[in-house]
Amino acid sequence: MSSPTPDGTGGSGVIGPPTPDQDHGDQGPNMIAAAFTAWTISLVFVLLRFWTRARIVHSLGPTDWFIALALIASGGMCVSAVEQCKHGMGKHMYDIDMHVDYAPMMEAWWFTLLCYILALALTKVSVCLLYLTIFTFEWARRACYAILVIVVTANIWATATTFTYCIPLEAAWNPNVVASFCQPQAAWWVNTGLTLATDIIIVILPIPIVLPLKLPRRQKLIVVGIFAVGFLVCLVSLIRLAILLQFKSDESSSAPDAFDFTYHSAKLFYCTTLEVNTAIVVACAMTLKPLLARFLPRLLHHHHQSAKPGEEDPSAVSSGGPPLTIGSRPSRQKQQAQSQGYHRPQAVVVVVEEELVGEGEG
């Protein structure tokens, strides 16, 4: 995706001086409102998560601090949105004094790109670390570690390409600085593809583990709801990709508004803001079961039939004693007993209730 040039043409000469019949709308206020609304919702969920982990579970860990850093990065997107719109983003290019506002607007645009990459990276790392505290099936843990390595590697690459957007970096927004190198468009398509791929993998990973569990109907609906919102993140990523592809198509078009970058970028900004903050909300929602159990117990209330002889009531697993993780074993002695043919209790806890519960594979 190309950015506009100071003459307001995007390098094409298409955008010219405004005419009386042209639209003079400004999407800047809506962009700012969307950014701060989405960030405020994320802030509420992060605060609920920290209160739950600190006051109920009494266990704050790296997964929580990574999501806090993601929230800060998302806040950076809000700040840069204000700065972008102050200099014309959201307006039509023919309504902007590009000789005055181009450089500060594009510098803020670059900062938004950086915050977007960091926010998603930190959120994904947080979710992967959370998975590692929940899943103790050996294959699931190995998959989590593999995904974590992919996420970290992909986002180191994305961050590196952002800081080398142009060399020197100032050339990315200052037309008076001559660049000796700028990243090719292929680099950004690779970044977009990696972002979408890791989104999908992270959402799909728990499904084959969670769905077969014999959860109470109401709790299973809550779990399905969380995953449905997780797929919303993937959907927004796909919409964002479609917008980028449309921008690419417009670059080669001769339509009069093909290169009205500043006005049409509002659609891309809405998707970017929604994608980041929805990811943060979903990551936090997975940790709020203890909060619901304390203040909305009826929401999780369920009745079980009497356990058959030799079977454990699944509710006992989550209501009495240390909660189990998915696939966890209460002890290595229990593991040995299972290997000798004894009954293995249902592991029904879907969201982590302590920093580390049950035993891992090692």
By the 10 Å C-beta count (0-12 exposed, 13-18 middle, 19+ buried), 175 is classed as: middle
Find the mean pLDDT for residues 232-240.
85
Pairing of strands 181-182, 166-167: antiparallel
Find the mean pLDDT for residues 249-263.
65
Q: How far apart are CA 302 and CA 149, in angstroms?
A: 39
User: Quick check: helix, strand or coil at residue 167?
Assistant: strand
Q: How far apart are CA 196 and CA 304, in angstroms?
A: 40
pLDDT of residue 158: 94
Strand partners, 91: 26
Tell me if the pTM is above 0.85: no
Please say whether the beta carbons of 130 and 287 come within 8 A: yes
pLDDT of residue 17: 56
Find the mean pLDDT for residues 6-18.
45
> Residue 185: CB partners within 8 Å, gap ≥ 6?
1, 248
Check residue 305 and report its DSSP letter: P
pLDDT of residue 140: 84
Phi first, then psi, for residue 188 (nearest 5°) are -75, -30
Task: Of 170-179, 209-218, 219-228, 346-355, give the lowest mean pLDDT range.
Answer: 346-355
Angle (CA) 237 203 354, round 5°? 130
Find the mean pLDDT for residues 338-360.
36
Q: How far apart are CA 203 and CA 180, in angstroms?
A: 40
110-162 pLDDT, tens digit per residue, is 999 999 999 999 999 999 999 998 887 888 889 899 999 999 999 999 999 99
Phi first, then psi, for residue 18 (nearest 5°) are -70, 150
pLDDT of residue 327: 46
Greater pLDDT, 97 or 323: 97
Q: How far apart are CA 229 and CA 197, in angstroms?
A: 17
pLDDT of residue 30: 92
Greater pLDDT, 23 or 126: 126
pLDDT of residue 154: 92
Q: How far apart are CA 26 and CA 199, in angstroms?
A: 32
> Residue 127: CB partners within 8 Å, gap ≥ 6?
63, 202, 283, 286
Closest Cα to residue 111, out of 176, 26, 169, 186?
169
156-204 pLDDT, tens digit per residue, is 999 999 999 999 999 999 989 999 999 998 898 899 888 889 988 888 8
Greater pLDDT, 280 or 209: 280
Greater pLDDT, 244 or 299: 244
By the 10 Å C-beta count (0-12 exposed, 13-18 middle, 19+ buried), 356 is classed as: middle
277-326 pLDDT, tens digit per residue, is 999 999 998 888 888 888 877 766 654 444 444 443 333 333 333 333 44
**pLDDT tier at 263 (50, 70, 90 boundaries)?**
confident
User: Quick check: helix, strand or coil at residue 241?
Assistant: helix
Other Cβ atoms closer than 10 A to 73: 20
Please count the helices (runs of H) and the strands (runs of E) in the chain: 12, 2
pLDDT of residue 225: 74
**pLDDT tier at 262 (50, 70, 90 boundaries)?**
confident
Structure tokens at 103: 């450089």
First to last CA, the chain: 47
pLDDT of residue 339: 42
Phi first, then psi, for residue 330 (nearest 5°) are -60, -30
* CATH T-level assignment (fold) for domain 28-295: Rhopdopsin 7-helix transmembrane proteins (1.20.1070)
User: Quick check: helix, strand or coil at residue 135?
Assistant: strand
What kind and span of H or E run contains 23?
none
29-88 pLDDT, tens digit per residue, is 999 999 999 999 999 999 999 999 999 988 889 999 999 999 999 999 999 999 999 998
User: Quick check: helix, strand or coil at residue 89?
Assistant: coil
